[in-house]
Structure 1
C-alpha cells in the first residue's frame, strides 16, 4: 500500500479531533472514526503503515494508531490470516527499529501504549507463532537505551497481562497464562535475567531512569521465576551497591523487598535474609538515625518489615514441624532484628513507623506463643510499649477543628498502634497495666503544667485498656474493697484530679469518652457521680467552646444517664433545670448561634426522658416533669403550624417544616425511656402523650412540607403504639383519615406498616376500626397503582412495585391475624376484587417477594374459607383461580428457579396446594387428575405421580417434587 493511498484513506478531518483541545464536533467525529477503523477489515493495516512509515508527527495520531492495532490484536487476532499476523509482527519490529535511530524519543505515553501492543502480541503468539519473541527483541535493541526502555516497558505490560494477581482473568486465560510462564521458564528466563543484569550494570550511572525501570521488572518477575537466578552473590551485590546510589536506592529497596517476599523453604529463607542483613548492616543502613531521606527510610522500613515477617513465618513453619534446632536459629535471627525494628517504630515520621507495624505485631505474636520469656524479651516488650505510647501522641500541627487528609492518616495510624497495644496485653497484661499506670499517674500529678499531647495520651491509654485487657485483669469493677483494681484506682484519680478542666478539646473529649466507657466504675463508687455530672453540664462538656466536643458529649451524656439512672434520683430536678435551655426548640428566625444541633438535642431529650421515667418520684411528680419537658414543644408546634399555613416564601416554609419535624422528633425520643416494665401508664405520663398526639396529628393534613412532617408524625405514632398500649387506639381513626387524604405511592407505602403494626399488636381490639378502614385503604392503593406513568420513569415504577409489596404484606397481616371478619364483612363484590388482586400478584408480576406474600395469603384464605363450612362460593373460586395460579406462576419465563427468593415463592405455592388438599380432600385430587392437569397436556403418569405426592403427609417431599416438576416442565 503506497503512502498516497494511506493519506487518502486516513480521514484527516477526523484526526483533528484527537487533539485534547479540539472542539466537541471534531472530537465526536474522531470517536466515530475510531469505531469505524476498529470494525473495518483492513482499517488496522492503514494504521500499521502510518506507524512504520512515520507519516504523522502528531503524538495523538500515533497513539490513535496504536489503539486501533491494540483492538485488532485483543479481539480479532484469531480471525487474521497468517500473512496478516506476520504483518503485525513486522510492523512492531520496524517501529522498534525506528526508535533506535530517530532524532527524538517518543513521548512516554506512546511508548507505554506500544509496550502494551507488544505485550498483547506476545500473549497471543508466544506459545505457537512467535517463540523467539524475546530473542528477536534483544537481538534488535542490544544495549541501545531507547530500545531497552521499550523492552522493559513491554516486560511490565506482560506482567500485567500474564502475572498480576490484582487483574481478574477468565479461567481459559488463567490456563493460557500458566502455559506461557512454563514456556518462558523453559525457553528464555535465564536469557532475560542476564539481560537485566547487563542493563543494571551498564546504565546505573548514565541512565538512572532505565535502571529503576529494570529494578521494577526484576521485582515483578521474581515471584514466579527460579530465585537462584536472582538471589546470588553477583546479582545481590549489584542490588546492594545500588542501595547506595541516591537515584536508585528506593527502587533497589523495593526490588529487594520482592526478592525477600518470594515463597521458599524456611531454612533457605533464613539464610537469604541473614546474608542480606549482614551486608546492609555492614554498609551502615541500620544507622537509621543518621538517614535524613524519609522517603528512602519509608522504603527501607518496608524492606525490614518484609525481612522480619519472613523470619516469623520461617520460625512458625519450623516450630510446627518439630525442627527445634532450626527453629531456635530462626528465633535468634528474629531477635537480632528487634533493635532495628524499635528504631524504625519510634521514628518521628509516621509513614516509616507504620511500615514496620506488621513485623512488630507478628513478633509479639511469637512472644505470646513462647512458654517463658527471657529478660531480653521482656525488655523488648517494654521497649515496644514505650514506643507505642510515644507514637500515640499527637503533634503540634494536628488540626482538631478542621481535620483534613493528614489528620485522617494519623487516626488510621493510631488504629494500627492500638492493635499493637492489644497484642501487648495478650503477651503480658501485667506489664501493660503497670506501664500505663506509671505514665498515667505521673501525668495526672502534674497535668496543670503538662502539654495537651501528654495529658491526652495518658487518658487515651486508660481508655484503650478497656478493650486491650482481658476481663480477668481488672477490666471490671468488683465493688470489693480488698480487690480494688489498678483500673479502679486510675478512674478514681481521673475523676478527682481536676483534669476535666484542661483547656484543650482533645483532652476534654478523651475525658468524657473514658468516663462513659467505664460507667460501671460509678456503680461501685457512686460518690463520684456528682463531680462527673457537673463536668458534663458546664463549660467542660455541653457548654464547651468547641461544637465538636459539645456534639459528642451530648451523645455520651445520654449513654451515661442510661447506665446510671438508678443513682441519679437526688440530682434529677437539678440536672433538668441546668439543661433546660438545651431542650428548647430553636425557632427558624432566631439567628442566634445554638449550642447543640437538632441531632444532638435528640440525645438530650432521651436523657431527660430516662431521668424522669426511671426516677423514684411519685407518678404525679413524673407527670409534672414530663409535662414541663413536652408542653413547650406542643406550644411551639401549634404556633409554627399556624405560621406555616400563612407562609408563602418557600425557604421559610422549609425552615418552619424542619422545626416542626424536630419538635415531633424530640417528643418521640423521650419515649425511648419507657419499657415493658415501665410503661407510659405506670409512669403516669399518659395524659401528656395524649396531648402530644392531639397536637401533632393535625399536621398530617397540612399540604405544605408533607414529606418530612408526615414522616416525623408517623414515626411518633409508631412509638406511641409501642409505649401507650391501647390508649393510643382512639387516635388511630383520625390519623388514618388524615393520612389517606391525597395520597401518593410513597405516603401509602409508609402508612401500611403502621396499620400492620396495629393489626399485629391489638388484633381483635382493632377489628371494628379495620373493617371500617379496610376498603378505603385498599381503594386508595388501587387508585395510586392505576395512575398512568411515563414509560421510562424507573423511580415511579419502583415506587409502585414497593407499594404493591406493602399492599400484599398488609393483606397477609390481616389474613394471618385471626380476624376473619375483617375481610369477610367487606361484601362479596369487594372480597372478590381483593382476592383477584392476590391472584394477579401471584401470577402476573415478576416480583418473587410480592408473589411469595400472595401465595401465603391464598393458603390462609383457603384455610379460612375453603372447608365444608367456609364462605359460600369460595370452593368454586379455588378451582377456577387459585389452583391455576399455582401452576401458571411457576410456568412463566420470568419465574427463575435458580433464584433463591423465587424458590421460597415456589415453596409457598406448594403449601397452597397442600392446604387445598387438606380442605377439599379427594374432590381436589379428582379435579387435578380429570380436569386441570389434562388441560395443561400433562401426561397421565406425571399427573398420578403429582397427586400421590400431594397426598403424602410430609410437605417437604411435596416442595422438592414441585421444584423438579416445574424444572422438567420448563425444559
Structure 2
C-alpha cells in the first residue's frame, strides 16, 4: 500500500502526467485521506524515513493532520484514545531518534521540519495539559541532549513548534470561533502557570549560548522570532528585565542577527499595557541613545526595521500624550522622550528609499493629528513642537520632489507610479501642517514656489516641485479643507497666492519645454481662473500659450488631449474676459476641428456597434475643442455678423462631411463612426453656443435647424446603428435650448424613429430625453401632440421589455430595475408638468388602466423606499385622471 501511495503522489504532483491518470491518482490520494486507517498507513510511511521521497512523506503528514483536525473539530470518524497514544509515542520516538545530536541521518528539509512542527502542534492542542502535561519538558530535554540546550537539531524543531503554537492559539490575525477561542485561552492560561517561566529562561539561555557561534544564526533568529510573537500574550516581566534586554540589545551589534533583534524589540514595545507601564518600558530601553549608535543607512533592510521600531515607539508615546487624564510628570517625561525620538522618525521620513520612509508614516500622521487636537483644545504650539512641525514640513517638501534618477513618464513607468502614490500620502501630511500652523504652511510653500520660478532654475524637477506646491497651496485655499480659515482663505493667504500666480505667469518656466511643467502650468491656470478677473491683461498671453505647441498642439499626445479639456475649461471660466478674440483663437485651433474617425481594431464592424465601441479616448477630448469654439464665438463681445460667420466656419465642414459620407454606398463601421462623430460634434458645439451668454439670433437658429435636419437624414439612413441613435438623441437635447419650440416638428420625427429602433437598454435614456422635452416645452401644443401619438407605443415597448424574464442574469435584472425607475420618473414628470390630459386622450385612454396596474405592481414589489413613495403618489394621481374620463 505504501508503494501505491508513493506512486500516486508522484503522479499527482508531476506536470508531465497524463491528465486522466493524474486525476485517478488524485482521487486515490483523497480516498486515503478519507479512509479510517489512512492515517495509520501514512504515519508508518512517514516514519520509514530512508525509503520515501520528501513529497510523499509531506503528504503522509497531511493525512495524519486531517485525522487530528477531525478529532479537534469533533467531525467525521474520530481518533480514539489508543490511537492518540500511538501517534504520540510514534512521533516522540521519531524526534528523539532523528533529532538527537548523535543521529547519522540527514536532517529533514526546512519545509519538512515546519510540517512536522505543525503536526506536533495539532497533537499538542489535543493533549496539553491533560494527557501530555510534560510536553515542553520533553522537548526541552530533546534540545538538551549532549548538554544544556546544546542540541542544534532539537532546538530548531522546538523553536519551529513554538512558532506554530503561537499561530494556532494566539495569532490575532486569524479569525476563530468562540469555541476555539475558549479552548486556546485555557491552553494559554495553562502555559503561563505551568511552563512559561521555564520557557522564558530557556530562550535567554539559547540567546547567550548560540549568538556567538558560527552555526547559531538560524537558532538565534528563530528564538528571537518566538520571543517577538509570544510576548504579546505572556507576562512581559519575564522578558523585560535588565539582563534579558541587555542580551537582546547586544545582538543589535551582530550584523547577521540585528534585523531579527530589532523586530523582537518592536514586538516587545508593542505589547499592550497601561500608559505608565509602557512609558517605563520605553524609558528602560533607552532607545534614543541606542538608535543613535546603530549603523543606520549602510544596510537598507536593517534601516527599514529600525524605522519600524522608531514608528512603534513614537506611536505609543503619542497615544500616551493624547490621554485626557495623564499625570503632569508622566506627561512632561513622555513629551521629553518623544521630542528626542521624533528627529529619528523625521530622518527616516527623509530617507531616499520610499519603503523606509513609509515605515514612519503612521507615527508622523498620528503626531500631526495630535497637534491638530491640541489646537482645538486651545493649547498653544510650544517652541519644541513648532520646531518639529517645521522639520516635518521641510522634509515632506524635499520628499515631494522627483528623484534625480527618475524621469517623468505621466504614469507609464511603475517606479514613477510608486513615487506618485507616496507623493499623495505626503501631500496629506503637508495639508495637516496647514491645519496646525497656517503661517508656517504659507511661508514655506510660497518660498519653495518663488525660488523654483527664478530664471536661474533650469532643472525641471525644481520647477515641477514649485508648480506642484503652488497647486497644493491653491487647492487648500480653494477647498478650505487644509486651511483653518473658511471660505476663500485669509486676506494674507489670497495675497500670497496671487503673488505666486503673478510670478508664474511672468516667468519663463515654459521655455524649458518639459511636458510636466506645461501640464502643471495649464492646470494651475484653470484651477485659479478667478485670478484673471483682477489681471485680465494676462488673458491674451494665456490663450497664446494654450493654442501653441505647449498646449493644444503639444507633440506629447497625453499632454495634448489633456490640454484640449483644460483649454475648454479656461474658455468657459473666463469667457467674460475673452473680448473680441474669437476669430484669432478659432484660426489657431482650426486644424484640430477635424473629424477623422478610426474604428477600433477589436470592432468587427457589425451593425449593432454601440457607443462603447468608438475611438472615445481622443475623440472625446476633441469634443472639448468644439464646445470651447461655441463658447468663444458666443460671448457678448462678438458682433452678430462675426458670430454667424465663425459659426458657419465650424459647422459647414461638418455638414459637408455628413453629406459626403451618406452619398457613398454603406461601408459599415467606419462610415457609421464618422457620422456619429459629426453628430456628436454638432451637439457639443451647440452646448458651447448656448453657454457663451450671447442672445441667440434667428440666423444662428437657422443654422442649427439645418443641422437638425441633417441629423434626421443620417438617422433615417443608419437608424439600425445604436451609436447613431445615441448621438442623435444627444445632439437634439443640446439644440433644444437654442431652437426652442421651433425644433418640435423635427423632434417628433426623431422620436418616432428612435422608438422604432431603440433596444431595451436605450429605453432608459430615451425616457429621460422625453422627460427633458416635457419639462422644456410644457404647455406647448406641439409637445402635447407629439406625446399623444407617442405614448401608447412607448409604454407598450416598456411593458414588453419588463415582461421578458431576466433569466437569472444580474446585468439583465439591473437593467429591468433601471427601466422601472425610468418609467416611474417619466410618469411623474408627465404629471408634474400638467400633461395628464395625454393619458385621457382618445388615442391613449385604452392603455391607462394598464399604466395604473403597472404602477401599483412596481410600487408594491420594490424594496426601494423612494420608489415606493413616488409610485404611491403616481398611483393616486392616475386614479384621479381615471375619475375624470
- Whether the TM-score (by the shorter chain) exceeds 0.5 is yes
**Partners of 2:691 and 2:550 in 1: CA distance:** 36
**Partners of 2:635 and 2:123 in 1: CA distance:** 77
Matches within 5 A, 1:256-267: 256-267=265-276
Which residue is 2:252 aligned to? 243
Q: Are 1:715 and 2:723 counterparts?
A: no
Match of 1:510 among 485, 509, 520: 520
Which residue is 1:301 aligned to? 307
TM-score by length of 2: 0.84
Task: Check 1:764–1:431 CA distance in 2 against 1; reply closer, same or farther (3 A cut).
Answer: closer
Instruction: Tell whether the 8 Å contact from 2:632 to 2:692 is kept in structure 1 after alignment.
Output: no
Instruction: Tell whether the 8 Å contact from 2:719 to 2:753 is kept in structure 1 after alignment.
Output: no
**Partners of 2:287 and 2:642 in 1: CA distance:** 80
Which residue is 2:197 aligned to? 190
**Partners of 1:705 and 1:109 in 2: CA distance:** 64
Question: What displacement does 1:495 show?
Answer: 0.7
Which residue is 1:612 aligned to? 633
**Partners of 1:703 and 1:748 in 2: CA distance:** 18
Q: Are 1:737 and 2:745 counterparts?
A: no
> Structure 1, unaligned stretches of length 5 or more?
648-652, 872-971
1:851-910 alpha-carbon deviations (Å, 9 max, x no partner): 996996577456544799566xxxxxxxxxxxxxxxxxxxxxxxxxxxxxxxxxxxxxxx
**Partners of 1:852 and 1:203 in 2: CA distance:** 71
Task: Check 1:467–1:152 CA distance in 2 against 1; reply closer, same or farther (3 A cut).
Answer: farther
Match of 1:430 among 439, 444, 464: 439
Instruction: Tell whether the 8 Å contact from 2:339 to 2:384 is kept in structure 1 after alignment.
Output: no
Which residue is 2:531 aligned to? 521
Which residue is 2:618 aligned to? 597
Q: Secondary structure at the match of 2:293?
A: coil
Matches within 5 A, 1:102-501: 103-123=105-125, 126=128, 132-142=134-144, 143=149, 144-204=151-211, 205=213, 206-277=215-286, 280-281=289-290, 284-285=293-294, 288=296, 291-317=297-323, 320-364=324-368, 369=374, 371-372=379-380, 377-401=385-409, 403-447=412-456, 449-468=457-476, 485-501=495-511
Instruction: Tell whether the 8 Å contact from 2:599 to 2:673 is kept in structure 1 after alignment.
Output: no
Task: Check 1:88–1:848 CA distance in 2 against 1; reply closer, same or farther (3 A cut).
Answer: farther
Question: What displacement does 1:496 show?
Answer: 0.5
Instruction: Tell whether the 8 Å contact from 2:6 to 2:56 is kept in structure 1 after alignment.
Output: no
Q: Are 1:646 and 2:666 counterparts?
A: yes
Moved more, 398-407 or 676-685: 676-685
Which residue is 1:574 aligned to? 584
Q: Secondary structure at the match of 2:162?
A: helix
1:696-726 alpha-carbon deviations (Å, 9 max, x no partner): 3444455698243333333334444577554
Task: Check 1:640–1:339 CA distance in 2 against 1; reply closer, same or farther (3 A cut).
Answer: same
Q: Secondary structure at the match of 2:529?
A: coil
Instruction: Tell whether the 8 Å contact from 2:593 to 2:625 is kept in structure 1 after alignment.
Output: yes
**Partners of 1:484 and 1:273 in 2: CA distance:** 46
1:324-353 alpha-carbon deviations (Å, 9 max, x no partner): 222122222122224434433333333333
Moved more, 718-727 or 148-157: 718-727
**Partners of 1:463 and 1:225 in 2: CA distance:** 51
Question: What displacement does 1:525 show?
Answer: 2.0
Which residue is 1:769 aligned to? 786
Q: Secondary structure at the match of 1:199?
A: helix
Task: Check 1:870–1:504 CA distance in 2 against 1; reply closer, same or farther (3 A cut).
Answer: closer
**Partners of 1:586 and 1:321 in 2: CA distance:** 71
Task: Check 1:577–1:431 CA distance in 2 against 1; reply closer, same or farther (3 A cut).
Answer: same
Instruction: Tell whether the 8 Å contact from 2:855 to 2:874 is kept in structure 1 after alignment.
Output: no
Instruction: Tell whether the 8 Å contact from 1:34 to 1:68 is kept in structure 2 after alignment.
Output: no
Q: Are 1:625 and 2:646 counterparts?
A: yes
Question: What displacement does 1:21 show?
Answer: 4.2
**Partners of 2:720 and 2:459 in 1: CA distance:** 51
**Partners of 2:399 and 2:866 in 1: CA distance:** 57
Task: Check 1:11–1:606 CA distance in 2 against 1; reply closer, same or farther (3 A cut).
Answer: same
> Structure 2, unaligned stretches of length 5 or more?
602-614
Q: Secondary structure at the match of 2:596?
A: coil
Question: What displacement does 1:666 show?
Answer: 3.2
Instruction: Tell whether the 8 Å contact from 2:113 to 2:157 is kept in structure 1 after alignment.
Output: yes
**Partners of 1:578 and 1:46 in 2: CA distance:** 86
1:205-263 alpha-carbon deviations (Å, 9 max, x no partner): 41323322332232222222222222222222222122122221222212211222222
Question: What displacement does 1:123 show?
Answer: 4.4
**Partners of 2:506 and 2:125 in 1: CA distance:** 73
Task: Check 1:126–1:22 CA distance in 2 against 1; reply closer, same or farther (3 A cut).
Answer: farther
Which residue is 1:942 aligned to? none
Instruction: Tell whether the 8 Å contact from 1:56 to 1:62 is kept in structure 2 after alignment.
Output: no
Question: What displacement does 1:393 show?
Answer: 1.8
Task: Check 1:413–1:860 CA distance in 2 against 1; reply closer, same or farther (3 A cut).
Answer: closer
Instruction: Tell whether the 8 Å contact from 1:697 to 1:735 is kept in structure 2 after alignment.
Output: yes
Question: What displacement does 1:453 show?
Answer: 1.7
Question: What displacement does 1:576 show?
Answer: 2.1
Instruction: Tell whether the 8 Å contact from 1:537 to 1:543 is kept in structure 2 after alignment.
Output: yes
Task: Check 1:743–1:335 CA distance in 2 against 1; reply closer, same or farther (3 A cut).
Answer: closer
Instruction: Tell whether the 8 Å contact from 1:18 to 1:61 is kept in structure 2 after alignment.
Output: no
Aligned alpha-carbon RMSD (Å): 4.1
Instruction: Tell whether the 8 Å contact from 2:210 to 2:220 is kept in structure 1 after alignment.
Output: yes
Q: Secondary structure at the match of 1:231?
A: coil
Matches within 5 A, 1:810-829: 810=826, 819-824=835-840, 825-826=842-843
Which residue is 1:914 aligned to? none
1:932-958 alpha-carbon deviations (Å, 9 max, x no partner): xxxxxxxxxxxxxxxxxxxxxxxxxxx
Q: Secondary structure at the match of 2:581?
A: helix
Moved more, 533-542 or 672-681: 672-681
**Partners of 2:403 and 2:174 in 1: CA distance:** 40
**Partners of 1:712 and 1:748 in 2: CA distance:** 15
Task: Check 1:113–1:750 CA distance in 2 against 1; reply closer, same or farther (3 A cut).
Answer: farther
Q: Are 1:696 and 2:705 counterparts?
A: no
Q: Secondary structure at the match of 2:552?
A: coil
Match of 1:664 among 667, 674, 679: 679
**Partners of 1:248 and 1:123 in 2: CA distance:** 32
Which residue is 1:962 aligned to? none
Task: Check 1:867–1:136 CA distance in 2 against 1; reply closer, same or farther (3 A cut).
Answer: farther
Instruction: Tell whether the 8 Å contact from 1:566 to 1:614 is kept in structure 2 after alignment.
Output: yes
TM-score by length of 1: 0.77
Q: Are 1:686 and 2:725 counterparts?
A: no
**Partners of 2:436 and 2:96 in 1: CA distance:** 63
Number of residue-to-residue matches in the alignment? 846
Instruction: Tell whether the 8 Å contact from 1:554 to 1:600 is kept in structure 2 after alignment.
Output: yes
**Partners of 1:548 and 1:292 in 2: CA distance:** 41
**Partners of 2:869 and 2:392 in 1: CA distance:** 64
**Partners of 2:98 and 2:258 in 1: CA distance:** 29
1:136-165 alpha-carbon deviations (Å, 9 max, x no partner): 444445444344334433433343343333
Which residue is 1:934 aligned to? none
Match of 2:44 among 36, 40, 49: 49
Instruction: Tell whether the 8 Å contact from 2:548 to 2:554 is kept in structure 1 after alignment.
Output: yes
Instruction: Tell whether the 8 Å contact from 2:784 to 2:835 is kept in structure 1 after alignment.
Output: yes
Question: What displacement does 1:601 show?
Answer: 1.5
Q: Secondary structure at the match of 2:756?
A: coil
Q: Secondary structure at the match of 2:322?
A: helix
**Partners of 1:672 and 1:330 in 2: CA distance:** 63
